[in-house]
Structure 1
């Protein structure tokens, strides 16, 4: 099981499986056969390797207990908030279009524009530590880092050699050719999101455990403003196929426009500031159009990069830099 989120990082930690397809198509079949594997770590037999995998899963779903604010050894605190890896990577990292981690190890080393270099999986995890977890880098030889990598490696045991699977990342949405409507976004939030995250957006805590059942969407204990989820397009893609809780890619509740507006509404709220964001994307031409902070290589305002319309920015990069940007 685990804790699942509902919206943006907006999730719930959990391991609820998506329904398999039937002739009536109540739910479509999984988009890739790898999703039919057994990903329950508790079915693993006892061995040193399997115990490391189980430990990685425990860190993955209860991050704050082991490498976050609830860790009593201050030298082992790397996550700065009480979110978990499971907050973005749903169902233990096995949900289609819920940022699944199946095969991710095989996709590294990997080039990333934010650093403008080839990076390792450990560097990618540390990117999450510094941004989504609003914390600091974890040494690559740290026992918890090795456990997380072991768990991810085990998830990808049936993935193809290149690690690419259908349903990786988030589901694409058609971005409206207009600015975010914040008033409409607030209406969607109050109609759909408050049941889990509350009117104040601060989520729900499991009584007696101090862990989030549904995490905060903004405020001091949420992801910082350097995280990928602060990009409206990225957040809208996540929301469309995963939120509210229980939504699946083949049975979305929100329209593209609703996901777009509520993503913009949430990301206009206060959250921690990521230090040194200005050094992100050394090659500014590669910066996603909905990155909410400068500098930019174009003349569009920071407000337009945050709230759109994004089509004019995309057109600019296509015309002037021959780059067809989608986020």
Structure 2
């Protein structure tokens, strides 16, 4: 792993210049999202997030942990093509994708002070990244996908053994002692990500879990095996969560829809249960044969 993750990302060492104040505000919004733009922030106009999660609940360590969707360099990878919208999108549009899905909320105006501050923080995080923004450790940790369906019974057992201490047996997480937000986020229920979020894809969730969970795990020394991460990801994502409207509009080119996307429509004839729980290899083989497309998630 290159030393870009060992650089100094401590915003509290910044001076009080106007630019650095905006960076620090972006960091605060990233870490305490519910306090600034959540449903209980005190100003309904600024309630862009529909739940009390924080950006750092998925992008761990303020977006600086390898293989947890780190945001170091991300600003330099935009504009970027996104299959979900089938167009070249801006970083602001990508943030709003999180607002509408992971945060179960609504779009934030691109000129809103909170959006400007988040962009400033991302630019500051990327100051050491190469010009193309690509770094080793971006995204999530690859796994070998088991050639079987998720075992929900085993997933429940793994959850009980490894996850309930932080997320509780009901998956409701652990709230901060003061103010809105969570020490450990809910994994399902009304205050969690909705069914349009990327984390509802079993393969994506398993990759995140393998490299980062239980909390504190490093990708170099994971606790769970690929199969355990796969089963517990499937168990978590079979639980009830908010429903995003108009999911049928996602992926205008349905061929580009990830095989583990848990909601239709699809361009194939595999049942929705198989898209949610696998096995995924037959679906991947179909896309390779029919469209010469290599699918990995």
TM-score in terms of structure 1 length: 0.90
Name the structure 2 match of 1:204: 174
Q: Does 1:213 align with 2:211?
A: no
Distance, in Å, in 2 between the alignment partners of 1:174 and 1:293 is 23
| 3-state SS, counterpart of residue 127 of structure 2 | coil
Alignment counterpart, residue 127 of structure 1, candidates 97, 105, 110:
97
Distance, in Å, in 2 between the alignment partners of 1:32 and 1:121 is 25
Alignment counterpart, residue 153 of structure 2, candidates 183, 186, 190:
183
Alignment counterpart, residue 118 of structure 1, candidates 85, 88, 95:
88
Aligned-residue Cα RMSD (Å) equals: 0.6
Deviates more, 1:146-155 or 1:201-210: 201-210
Distance, in Å, in 2 between the alignment partners of 1:81 and 1:209 is 13
Distance, in Å, in 2 between the alignment partners of 1:309 and 1:211 is 36
1:1-327 matches, within 5 Å, as 31-327=1-297
> Displacement, 1:287?
0.2
> Displacement, 1:207?
1.9
Q: Aligned pair count?
A: 297
| 3-state SS, counterpart of residue 128 of structure 2 | coil
| 3-state SS, counterpart of residue 200 of structure 1 | coil
User: Is the CA contact (8 Å cut-off) linking 2:70 and 2:139 kept in structure 1?
Assistant: yes
> Displacement, 1:154?
0.3
Distance, in Å, in 1 between the alignment partners of 2:128 and 2:178 is 38
Q: Would you tell me which structure has more helix in proportion to its own residues?
A: 2
| 3-state SS, counterpart of residue 222 of structure 2 | coil
| 3-state SS, counterpart of residue 82 of structure 1 | coil
Distance, in Å, in 2 between the alignment partners of 1:157 and 1:206 is 32
User: Is the CA contact (8 Å cut-off) linking 2:54 and 2:181 kept in structure 1?
Assistant: no
TM-score in terms of structure 2 length: 0.99
Distance, in Å, in 2 between the alignment partners of 1:52 and 1:207 is 27
> Displacement, 1:32?
1.8
Unaligned runs of 5+ in 2: none
| 3-state SS, counterpart of residue 129 of structure 2 | coil
> Displacement, 1:69?
1.1
